[in-house]
Amino acid sequence: MVDFRLDGHRVLVTGAGRGLGKAIADGLAEQGATVYGTSRDAATSQQIADRYGTPALSVEMTDPDSISEFVAALQLHSGGIDMLVNNAGVNIPKPAIEVTNQDWDTVFDTNLKGSFFLSTALARSWLSNGTAGSIVNIASQTGIVAIEERAAYGTSKAGLIHLTKILALEWAGNGIRVNAVAPTFVRTEMTESTLSRPDWAAELLGRIPIGRFGEPEDVAGAVAFLLSDAASLITGHTIAIDGGYTIR
């Protein structure tokens, strides 16, 4: 059996400073990958660098020009990133009629636009030098089923799921795989405001047949699998890590 080991690979994980991103980065490092992690915050970027022994990296995910410059420098100094986890994301939960233009743009620019331009910037170098790269996008079950107060977030994640298919189709012939995971509510700083509301948390838990919320490690294992050679024939797919939430 091909295992999940990632020895010799260099992976970029966006938003690796806390929560889901940190757990994913830790898991990939445990599997032998050299991890490069990003954060918008300089202090957090340094903490990530100290944790994995790689340079401190900051990138503005909403700015395509900044992303292009970042990737060019990173490829030069890292010796060549060959794996990417598009984890950085934001959510501004509120009823649809309260969502502002700024809310919408903030969510889409980070969750979808940033992931697209980071993926294409890396793929451009992979296509030119024949690298068989692998990308995993962190989508969400809200991109599969409708959930209250997630108009912008859910729509951006639905877009990310479809983008995964398109990029996988375009690049499959070059050995580049693109997949996604769609987690349920995972206990992180991002979901704290939702899961700290007892009535709402109970309602959401009742929708999960397995009967528990996710933990960051639940997602990290699936990401490691999709990046690894164990998933070498898988591309263009989204794995729902949802305890059965999207069955119905």
Q: How far apart are CA 72 and CA 58, in angstroms?
A: 13
Catalytic residue numbers read 153
DSSP the chain: ------TT-EEEETTTTSHHHHHHHHHHHHTT-EEEEB-SSHHHHHHHHHHHTS--B---TT-HHHHHHHHHHHHHHHS---EEEE-------B-GGG--HHHHHHHHIIIIIIHHHHHHHHHHHHHHHT---EEEEE--GGGTS--TTBHHHHHHHHHHHHHHHHHHHHHGGGT-EEEEEEE--BSSGGGHHHHTSHHHHHHHHTT-TT-S-B-HHHHHHHHHHHHSGGGTT--S-EEEESTTGGG-
**pLDDT tens string 151-205:** 999 999 999 999 999 999 999 999 999 999 999 999 988 788 888 889 989 999 9
| Residues facing 85 on adjacent strands | 13, 136
Q: What is the pLDDT of residue 191?
A: 86
Q: Tens digits of per-residue pLDDT, 228-242?
A: 999 999 999 999 999
What is the structure's pLDDT at 1?
60
Mode of pairing for the β-strands spanning 238-241 and 83-86: unpaired
d(CA 130, CA 146): 40
pLDDT of 153: 98
CA distances for 64 relative to 7, 61, 114, 120, 185, angstroms: 30, 7, 7, 10, 29
How far apart CA 112 and CA 137 sit, in angstroms, is 10
pLDDT value at 130 more than 70: yes
DSSP-assigned states of every residue in 16-53: TTSHHHHHHHHHHHHTT-EEEEB-SSHHHHHHHHHHHT
Condensed to tens digits (0 to 9), the pLDDT of residues 27-75 reads: 999 999 999 999 988 899 999 999 999 999 989 999 999 999 999 999 9
Domains and CATH numbers, the chain: 10-189+215-240 (3.40.50.720)
Is residue 211 pLDDT above 80, yes or no?
yes
Tell how far CA 213 is from the center of its chain. 19
Q: Residue 18: exposed, middle, or buried by beta-carbon count in 10 A (0-12, 13-18, 19+)?
A: middle
Asked if the model's pLDDT at residue 118 lies above 80, the reply is yes
Return the residue matching tokens 């100290």: 50
- State the average pLDDT for the chain: 95
